[in-house]
Amino acid sequence: MSLPQHVAIIMDGNGRWAQQRNKPRTFGHIKGARIAKKIITACSDKGLKNLTLYAFSSENWLRPATEVLFLMNLLRRYLKKETENLVRQNIRFQTIGEIEKLPADIQTAIRYATDRTSKNTGLNLVFAISYGSRQEITTAVQRIAERIQQKELSVDQIDESLLHHELSTSSWPDPDLIIRTSGEHRLSNFLLWQAAYSEFYFCETLWPDFTVEDLEIALLNFIKRERRFGSISHHENTHH
């Protein structure tokens, strides 16, 4: 009966939450960021090792410029305000995604938060920002092809482990639990390779309404499921 090693969350439904209240979508993002902060603290307090949050997908750049700008401002403010809190909570902050596409000052703030928290030994908090899994896999394949071209590597040395090491997530175990809020049952280009054996937990709750209790329900649900990795269960094993 143990916690997952790595929880990944697709925080979905901010826009709908705001629209239901006749407020602009950005109102939902503000509340969403507050919820993200609560959930991060709860995961840290529970002793969870790895938490990945889908904060901004590579497709999110296609949203209206004002919304993109708003999300960038929210991220900028979060990094400024929260870096010292992360230090105090012994949380290590890291990112995956095409950070180079972000405004320069946000890139600097990300580097600062990453360096400032790099010695922390508690929760590994990973923000997926400007992240798309197909892009990540494509980049990994390009790197491997380059190494072959340089004759550093031969084709028969390409295996799953090599690919794993070329992904931006190679420092952490694969997520064993992926949560998506707001009733959507899709992965939306999030951790495609890494999700091969993940358990999925979907709930109807919109992200701004998500609570620590909802997180606990998801964790309990995970703990109760029998995880077989395509093999037979330990229980069956002892009988056959």
Binding site for ligand FPP (CB under 6 A): 11-16, 25, 29, 32-33, 36, 55, 60, 74-75, 78, 182, 207
**Amino acid letter, residue 119:** K
Q: What is the DSSP letter of 173?
A: P
Phi/psi at 89 (5° precision): -90, 5
Residue 113 beta carbon to ligand FPP: minimum distance, rounded to whole angstroms: 11
Residue 67, both tokens: 């919304």
| Active-site pick, 12, 14, 50, 174 | 12
Closer Cβ to ligand FPP, 88 or 224, answer by number: 88
Residue 56 beta carbon to ligand FPP: minimum distance, rounded to whole angstroms: 6
Residue 49 beta carbon to ligand FPP: minimum distance, rounded to whole angstroms: 20
Distance CA 130, CA 48 (A): 25
User: Which residues are CB-contacts of 121 (< 8 A; sequence separation ≥ 6)?
Assistant: 90, 92
Residue 112 beta carbon to ligand FPP: minimum distance, rounded to whole angstroms: 15
Q: Between the CA of residue 105 and those of 102, 110, 128, what are the distances in Å? A: 8, 9, 18
Closer Cβ to ligand FPP, 15 or 97, answer by number: 15
| Active-site pick, 14, 50, 60, 120 | 60
60 is catalytic: yes
Closer Cβ to ligand FPP, 94 or 182, answer by number: 182
Torsion over CA: 216, 169, 54, 124 (sign): positive
Closer Cβ to ligand FPP, 106 or 217, answer by number: 106
176 is catalytic: no
Burial class (CB in 10 A: 0-12, 13-18, 19+), 153: middle
Residues designated catalytic: 12, 60
